[in-house]
Structure 1
């Protein structure tokens, strides 16, 4: 037995040394770009954890929605513990005046615009109505309706406090859609940005706590609904967690973001720590792309030539597996094939029961495995105290059911390095999420692609990634190199950093699966815009990344839209907008069709795919549908009627010149496909029609040195990003002169943080800037558009996964975040 243990120990040390001898802890390139949110552990719209801070120790990691999904990292050096990830304060909030997810509290409200004094305790709210929270039309627990766009709601809530309540470490929590102001006894304590934000918190400082007193208090919230969803809720809580004051904060030295990995370096006293978060989402490997398991690699070495006793810890919260923090959870220890896993999820397990935007998953299970370390399930206090005292884990518990947030345990992983010297020592851990059932498509439920219809389970996935760690990490590094070098070749280092920082962002907004007819399907979620699934006008702007690196994924986004029409479930003469609300894809739910937009998108992308394939095999089953859509564009696309385009936030707009360009390119795309089909007569007929349309367009849209926003609007302009296909296909419908006239004009319209979308507003869409910029004939001109985008990403104070819709003068997001559309950043790469 002793010989066996010695052999195993030797093998473990050999593996550790092997890891340390690789280059896996050095990014392919160091990066200067400060992403507004850094990808930590990402895979799909639900398993998507980010750090919206410059330093990993400035606060808890979060879902792209902004909800906290805490991961904590600790390194113990010679008995001193350093935190390298997570908030220094371990919050466990107990309700004093709960929000609506715990209790349907009642308050007074009005939608009549108020002047000064409405938020003060002695204000007489005569004529106000009584209503129960939450208030709104989009979100959980709504009991009082409020939905009017460009409207206000004012809510007053009375709270009775005891002397014991006032002794607590107090937090005000609030949810809002859109902007808000929160008051305590007449004094403003928080402001919410123009966005849908849920469970935001403000830690009351000493001065703010003095606003409260025993007995009756008034909290008040004013929310402005700009458009779409409306929501309002708030409450008061006490933190009963602990702050481990003896835990020191590691010094972060650098952070570099590559396509598949995020690299952090720290000093923890006399020891250097490298941590690499890798989601092995290789775009050419569908199994790895869809597998919801990520690596956390870690390496340590002495900085002072002395030996040091070192232990590494990673802590995960069951909150990662909940939609709202108060949901009861069950956490267990399970052993499978000799591997111990910590497993956590909600007790209710409402599989695929929730759909919509701005929500987290509350079904399925988070797993932490004991590969290369030990795991334990216990209370936070027991875990942290045991680790600080001896660098080890207490035995813990086998099962914890937490019905209240303050009973929630943590899932802890520890690796003991023992004595560490100047020779680096390294290892890795694995964290993953099994959704059990991932998506519903046409009333059938499916698991993601990696599970192969149930033939592979989550434990197989963990074992595969564990066994193949080194080779997978090397492949990830090769992908990092390819993404960076390809961008550098057609742009510069700034462009390469933008694409490197965007790669996981784009992929993590999707779900890959295969239906029962063998179709590969790749569905986007319309994050932070309306929650739709597989929206065609997200598929279109995101296409350049997939067309450049894996066109099969582009097809996988489009096939279901074709099949929807072929099945007869969609009967209109143009393409559908979406297939439902994520994760339920049973048919379009969007209320306003986008006829020319979606038909043009599908035809254009289909043509590009056929060009890249060198044949029309992909579209053959759908030829009649393509013909119908093309004829619709021929009849209606020259001068579009009053309708939406993909920039639907700008509202309906008749005679849209850019939308007309889309129709023209759609018709041309059909002609190209007909030519490849061998039907020369049809190809010539439709290409001639496209030429006629383009000639009329140029005459009607021309306004001196540029082209109008709408045919009937004088002294206007807009980006004509849809024209890029004319350059790609060399169809010369508009000609290079038209494109370069537009590009030259755009350069005169740029602001500090980019080119506005059009004359109407200062806001922009960065994906469309990249499309417009790709029309430039030379690299230097292209880069003149890239630099303001780089500056925006680097400087914006909107700390979210890159918002594609922002103000070009202030750099602040207007809306949208974590969306797939920034796959459009790859357009120049596709053109070149």
Structure 2
């Protein structure tokens, strides 16, 4: 481990109480989301400002603590002192009055707050979490930016000091402040009690538990909080009351360290920065970065057995504590801002073109959340992309979570889908999974992708076989990579044989909507399997296995003809597909029809598309069409899959109702994909069951279909 130079002392950080003041009305553009993304870049960097009325404060940065996606408080604090009076602009420290938030706006990569500080100065506060699907180096760095701009509001010059401090919430991290020539930096990591470190070097880290989580937060790694060393910058570590009081009274900090090593909850320690901006008339900006480094990121049971995989950034930087990495991130802000603006513009233009402002409201909120479940690992020779099934299970590489997520990758970077599929193929093709059908996930607890050599993963065999066949072909078509199909032909054929045996008349089993319970003869599940067989016919033909191709095509077409008899309530008014064969008084979202369209198969007759488009408006509720007749809840990912293949009017209905839900929902966590279509609130199983999940990548389903043209796929 490389040591930090010129190091100060270690202190600890934890959560603080909440003080919520009355906030003046703010505008929200394009909507007031259920939670506002602040620093969202990985499963372990996922900090939000809760906004919904079920426990949030309506979308205001000041007066409430930011929180980790799972609900733990992260007492990230911001104060500003103008002409001797101190105000709070982030968090809920005791004492100062709150600034007046006048507006909030989000894009795909940014959350921007505008604040009026006593009518004297204006603050523009930007949280930027970059998405760089075309740049693996930058995407692999788990860092986010906070840019605070201050300018005079009344035309006069004002004496201004800016303050921010950080703790790690109830997860109890150490804090390691240190100084370099250009940057102050601070790291913190999980531990139970504080440790010291010498004047130049680390001593050992306490209680690092590799590949371990506590309440979904990592038990290993190093956190950094940094700003540039400039004139007027001061710092201090110590109890929250002492450090913050020093700033409130003096406008600066003492440049001292707290050597009282103690339990986390004893005089809650923080590490703070104060910047004396002097007399401010024009705009003055102060930039901070926050980041997490973990050299070892994933434990993976691959072709050679269980091995640790390093974070991909280690191919570009030497170690977790390498100062050049921190300097690179900080000094890269100009490039990061330009790259983010370009992506924001692309998603904005494409979304508005397909579904208007309502669709942009949906896609731009989903982008950071979708990518926030991912971690790039490996080296310059071989890369993998791992995904955590956040909140609903915690599994690694869950196939039926990758499936609703994958449209965002088809739209932005199909090659990343291959990096998600590769670990699944590698594990199963190495003979480490005994079942003949596709596995459900690569491990029951992220970040341990250690497989299921006993075959006892969650059983969704029809679901996962169909998903793997559809996604493999979708990647190959978009990336024009026929070799990938040939490489995995044997196991794809194996999974197809399972579908041939089981797809037409599905046994009593669960689908991806396992929370709704199992059911025999599921109409929508059968359709996925049949589409999977036809996908294999295309794969066979693309790899010159034409005899197989002809056989699979014959089977798929025979099955789809029978499926239309078994699964459609022909005599209903209007006619529609059923939840299960013969259950003519039932219905559900036929979202698996999307696979036929995204692959350009033309297996399912157009009359089925038209029939469903005519039916959905007849059962629509305030915030969407219920998932099926068993409950009144819906799922936003499947609604966008369904919208993407619907008629123009029905598509517009789905989009409008989901955009309305984003603005109206009382839920107060990072966007849930499961909610009551009637009230917009949590469904019966309680708050927070489904939150911050990457399945919102499915909100890009319309954009993924648009990308077909570039890949030469025609419907």
Contact 1:545-1:823 within 8 A present in 2 as well? yes
- 1:777 and 2:651 correspond: no
TM-score w.r.t. length of structure 1: 0.74
| Bigger mean CA offset, 407-416 vs 795-804 | 407-416
Say which SS state the counterpart of residue 148 (structure 2) adopts. Answer: strand
CA distance in 2, matches of 1:412, 1:803: 34
- 1:739 and 2:599 correspond: no
- Alignment map for 1:551-700 (pairs within 5 Å): 551-580=414-443, 581-588=445-452, 591-700=457-566
CA distance in 2, matches of 1:355, 1:390: 40
Tell me the CA shift for residue 291 of structure 1: 0.8
Gaps of 5+ in 2: 1-26, 52-58, 192-205, 684-688, 707-715
Say which SS state the counterpart of residue 588 (structure 2) adopts. Answer: coil
| Bigger mean CA offset, 261-270 vs 706-715 | 706-715
Match of 2:284 in 1: 425
Contact 2:295-2:314 within 8 A present in 1 as well? no
CA distance in 1, matches of 2:485, 2:256: 57
Tell me the CA shift for residue 744 of structure 1: 1.3
Match of 2:7 in 1: none
CA distance in 2, matches of 1:355, 1:268: 40
Tell me the CA shift for residue 336 of structure 1: 4.4
- Alignment map for 1:387-426 (pairs within 5 Å): 387-397=247-257, 399=259, 401-421=261-281, 423-426=282-285
CA distance in 2, matches of 1:399, 1:289: 37
Tell me the CA shift for residue 469 of structure 1: 1.6
Tell me the CA shift for residue 819 of structure 1: 0.3
Contact 1:330-1:400 within 8 A present in 2 as well? no
- Alignment map for 1:270-285 (pairs within 5 Å): 270-285=120-135
Say which SS state the counterpart of residue 619 (structure 1) adopts. Answer: helix
Match of 1:314 in 2: 164
Q: Tell me: CA distance 1:258–1:400, structure 2 relative to 1, closer, same or farther (3 Å).
A: farther
Say which SS state the counterpart of residue 369 (structure 1) adopts. Answer: strand
CA distance in 1, matches of 2:168, 2:418: 36
Say which SS state the counterpart of residue 299 (structure 1) adopts. Answer: strand
CA distance in 1, matches of 2:650, 2:547: 40
Match of 1:44 in 2: 42
Contact 1:331-1:401 within 8 A present in 2 as well? no
Q: Deviations over 1:376-408 (max 9, x none)?
A: 322222221221222211122065633141233
Larger strand percent: 1
- 1:345 and 2:211 correspond: no
CA distance in 1, matches of 2:508, 2:667: 33
CA distance in 1, matches of 2:188, 2:577: 57
Match of 1:21 in 2: none
- 1:819 and 2:683 correspond: no
Tell me the CA shift for residue 591 of structure 1: 4.2
How many residues align structurally?
A: 638
- Alignment map for 1:376-525 (pairs within 5 Å): 376-397=236-257, 399=259, 401-421=261-281, 423-442=282-301, 443-452=306-315, 455-458=318-321, 459-514=323-378, 518-525=381-388
Say which SS state the counterpart of residue 828 (structure 1) adopts. Answer: helix
Match of 1:828 in 2: 702
CA distance in 1, matches of 2:661, 2:382: 39
- Structure ID, larger Rg: 1
Contact 2:613-2:647 within 8 A present in 1 as well? no
Q: Deviations over 1:110-161 (max 9, x none)?
A: xxxxxxxxxxxxxxxxxxxxxxxxxxxxxxxxxxxxxxxxxxxxxxxxxxxx
Match of 2:667 in 1: 798
Q: Tell me: CA distance 1:252–1:575, structure 2 relative to 1, closer, same or farther (3 Å).
A: same
CA distance in 1, matches of 2:62, 2:354: 36
Q: Deviations over 1:462-483 (max 9, x none)?
A: 2112222212211111111111
Could you say what the CA RMSD is over the residues aligned between the two structures, in angstroms? 2.0
Q: Deviations over 1:50-77 (max 9, x none)?
A: 0003111231000000110111111111
Match of 2:219 in 1: 362
Contact 2:235-2:255 within 8 A present in 1 as well? no
Tell me the CA shift for residue 425 of structure 1: 1.9
CA distance in 2, matches of 1:660, 1:55: 46
Runs of 4+ in 1 over 4 A off after TM superposition: none
Say which SS state the counterpart of residue 441 (structure 2) adopts. Answer: coil
Tell me the CA shift for residue 453 of structure 1: 8.0
Q: 2:155 aligns with which of 281, 305, 330?
A: 305
CA distance in 2, matches of 1:506, 1:37: 14
Tell me the CA shift for residue 714 of structure 1: 2.8
CA distance in 2, matches of 1:550, 1:313: 39
Gaps of 5+ in 1: 1-28, 89-242
- Alignment map for 1:93-112 (pairs within 5 Å): none
CA distance in 2, matches of 1:719, 1:460: 51
Contact 2:299-2:447 within 8 A present in 1 as well? yes
Tell me the CA shift for residue 680 of structure 1: 2.6
CA distance in 1, matches of 2:183, 2:246: 23
- 1:74 and 2:79 correspond: yes
Contact 2:222-2:293 within 8 A present in 1 as well? yes
CA distance in 2, matches of 1:783, 1:400: 61
Q: Deviations over 1:600-651 (max 9, x none)?
A: 0000001111111234122322110001001111111111101111000111
Match of 1:35 in 2: 33
CA distance in 1, matches of 2:386, 2:518: 27
Q: Tell me: CA distance 1:437–1:349, structure 2 relative to 1, closer, same or farther (3 Å).
A: farther
Match of 2:5 in 1: none
Match of 1:18 in 2: none
- 1:254 and 2:92 correspond: no
Contact 2:670-2:692 within 8 A present in 1 as well? yes
Q: Tell me: CA distance 1:407–1:385, structure 2 relative to 1, closer, same or farther (3 Å).
A: closer
CA distance in 2, matches of 1:48, 1:670: 38
TM-score w.r.t. length of structure 2: 0.86
Q: Tell me: CA distance 1:339–1:300, structure 2 relative to 1, closer, same or farther (3 Å).
A: closer
CA distance in 1, matches of 2:349, 2:626: 29
Match of 1:727 in 2: 597
Tell me the CA shift for residue 741 of structure 1: 0.4
Q: Deviations over 1:196-240 (max 9, x none)?
A: xxxxxxxxxxxxxxxxxxxxxxxxxxxxxxxxxxxxxxxxxxxxx
